[in-house]
Amino acid sequence: MSGGAPLPEPTKEPILSISDLKEAADRKLPSLVREFYNSGSTDQRTIAANSDAFTKYHLRSRVLVNVRGLDTSTTALGRKVRFPVGCAPAGIQGMAHEDGELATARAAGRWGVNMGVSSFASYAVEEVIDAGKGVVETLDSGGMGEVVGSAYAMQLYPMRDRALQERIVKRAEKAGCTAIFLTGDSPVLGVRYNEWRNDFRTPEGIGFPNMERTSRQIRESTHDDGFAKMNDDSAAWTTEIKWLKERTKMKIFVKGVICGEDVRAAIESNADGVIVSNHGGRQLDGVPATIDVLEECAAAAEGKIEVHMDGGVRKGSDIFIAVALGAKCVYVGRPVLWALAYGGQAGVERMLEVFGHQSKLLGSHGSRWCVETPEARKQTIISNLEEATAGLWGMVLRDEHYQDFLWTFIPDFMTGAHQELEYNSNDDIWIYNIYSLKGNHELVRDQKARNSNGEHMRW
């Protein structure tokens, strides 16, 4: 036996990953709720694709990079967040834990990440925000010194009853929401066989207070029928954003976009952002994984509006890949529900701790990472370097030549400089806008360019 320090004790913590959370929740939840939460629509193709698609991307780490003091924080919905993750507006959280969205809000507030509140939340938006703020007040007085607190977005469906829709908007704004997530992917409810087989109805005692519906009223109809009666299937780009903008100052994000055309429609309609989402595979089955369409959507946004995404994010590396492909931040839906089922607020905090730890670990393996995809094609270097100081940023490289070329610029990033990369297709050159802070916070821009043969250009 050799000497030396004793080996660390094996951890007793049962939750080390999001799949651990899922297993714990699956053991706890009754089958009606478990199937409602876990399932996608029809043949379950899109829900499976959402997570699988991440495995196509690989991370290319750098070594001997000083990562001390790594900072994964960024801004989303106009607020600093500890890392680029938020809680998606997933409905009926009261089925997972009696505190439902209140517990989620408390955990999100403590961990300094944002939260979407579903129209079908089991608690009123006012109560949810109070719960989140309450926990933050306690923390602030304790002087945690970390990023705490959340921005809140009210998720909304276009509704037949416009007076009710307006009341929800006004309530959300008054309560402290700063954004609306207008769900555009649900003109009709997705085909969810589990709900039909189980005659899914929201359990007794749980209402939809934001929709002004009591538990008894909801239970009178099936989920499908209730949704069809509420939802305005005539909603269109030409009407919805304008309608909302006339009634609120909150930012309007359109949730459920999966193609560049709709990103451009969002810009033309004066929306403030999009959430690239397929509703976690619960709406139209067969649409692509969100991570596979993110790049197209981010390119269509041209930096004019914020692009967020959700769908299948289960690991720190998934967050990183999404950020690298152009998302400002990502949301997680089912992980929140599993976490709630596992342990209420403490469960959601554990979930955020897992994501936060994994994000930091990634950065600590060489915060300047690249993501490679298997296809080699030109003109696909995408940079997402908006936050010079953020530890989490990435690039997608799909062409060997550009890859090598890009590394020569990496040292600039390490100084905290901020680079933006543009491809000028007319001249077939790559232009680097390199920003650095000089002296008294003066922003200085330097430009470098190379042609597609890798030769330096005058610019």
Ligand X SMILES: Cc1cc2nc3c(=O)[nH]c(=O)nc-3n(C[C@H](O)[C@H](O)[C@H](O)COP(=O)(O)O)c2cc1C
CA distance 445 to 177: 36
Binding string, residues 382-411; x marks residues near ligand X by CB under 6 A:
------------------------------
Minimum CB distance to ligand X, residue 315 (Å): 12
Binding string, residues 215-254; x marks residues near ligand X by CB under 6 A:
----------------------------------------
Candidate residues 313, 322, 327, 390; the one interacting with ligand X per rule CB under 6 A: 313
Q: Provide φ and ψ at 389, rounded to 5°.
A: -95, -10
Binding string, residues 27-66; x marks residues near ligand X by CB under 6 A:
----------x------------x----------------
Do 372 and 75 touch, CB atoms closer than 8 A? no
Q: Which is nearer to ligand X, 33 or 324 (CB)?
A: 33
Binding string, residues 129-158; x marks residues near ligand X by CB under 6 A:
--------------------------x---
Stretch of residues binding ligand X (CB under 6 A), selected from 306-314, 360-368, 405-413, 422-430: 306-314
Q: Which is nearer to ligand X, 158 or 343 (CB)?
A: 158
Q: Is 120 in the site for ligand X (CB under 6 A)?
A: yes
Binding string, residues 265-304; x marks residues near ligand X by CB under 6 A:
------------x-xx-x----------------------
Site size toward ligand X (CB under 6 A) is 24
Q: What SS3 string covers the chain?
A: CCCCCCCCCCCCCCCCCHHHHHHHHHHHCCHHHHHHHHCCCCCCHHHHHHHHHHHHCEEECCCCCCCCCCCCCEEECCEEECCCEEECCCCCHHHCCCCHHHHHHHHHHHHCCEEEECCCCCCCHHHHHHHHHHHHHHHHHHCCCCCCCCCEEEEECCECCHHHHHHHHHHHHHHCCCEEEEECCCCCCCCCHHHHHCCCCCCCCCCEHHHCECHHHHHCCCHHHHHHHHECCCCCHHHHHHHHHCCCCCEEEEEEECCHHHHHHHHHCCCCEEEECCHHHCCCCCCCCHHHHHHHHHHHHCCCCEEEEECCCCCHHHHHHHHHCCCCEEEECHHHHHHHHHHHHHHHHHHHHHHHHHHHHHHHCCCEEEEECCCCCCCCCEECCCCCCCCCEEEEECCHHHHHHHHCCHHHHHCCCEEEEEEECCCCEEEEEEEEEECCCEEEEEEEEEECCCCEECC
Stretch of residues binding ligand X (CB under 6 A), selected from 68-76, 239-247, 307-315, 429-437: 307-315
**Residues that are catalytic:** 279
Q: Is 118 in the site for ligand X (CB under 6 A)?
A: yes
Stretch of residues binding ligand X (CB under 6 A), selected from 54-62, 88-96, 212-220, 246-254: 88-96
Minimum CB distance to ligand X, residue 200 (Å): 11
Q: Which is nearer to ligand X, 148 or 337 (CB)?
A: 337
Candidate residues 15, 53, 54, 91; the one interacting with ligand X per rule CB under 6 A: 91
Minimum CB distance to ligand X, residue 327 (Å): 13
Binding string, residues 358-387; x marks residues near ligand X by CB under 6 A:
------------------------------
Torsion of CA 204, 205, 206, 209, to 10 degrees: 130
Minimum CB distance to ligand X, residue 116 (Å): 6
Candidate residues 158, 207, 333, 391; the one interacting with ligand X per rule CB under 6 A: 333
Stretch of residues binding ligand X (CB under 6 A), selected from 86-94, 261-269, 396-404, 426-434: 86-94
Q: Is 86 in the site for ligand X (CB under 6 A)?
A: no
Query: Of 273, 329, 326, whose CA–CA distance to 304 is shortest?
Result: 273
Minimum CB distance to ligand X, residue 189 (Å): 11
Q: Which is nearer to ligand X, 91 or 366 (CB)?
A: 91
Cα dist from 7 to 3, 10, 11, 15, whole Å: 11, 9, 12, 21
Candidate residues 190, 273, 311, 344; the one interacting with ligand X per rule CB under 6 A: 311
Candidate residues 90, 274, 294, 434; the one interacting with ligand X per rule CB under 6 A: 90
Candidate residues 88, 179, 218, 276; the one interacting with ligand X per rule CB under 6 A: 88
* CB count in 10 Å sphere of residue 370: 20
Instruction: Quote the tokens at residue 452.
Output: 């597609």
Minimum CB distance to ligand X, residue 217 (Å): 17
Question: Which positions lie near ligand X, rule CB under 6 A?
Answer: 37, 50, 88-91, 118-120, 155, 183, 255, 277, 279-280, 282, 310-313, 332-334, 337
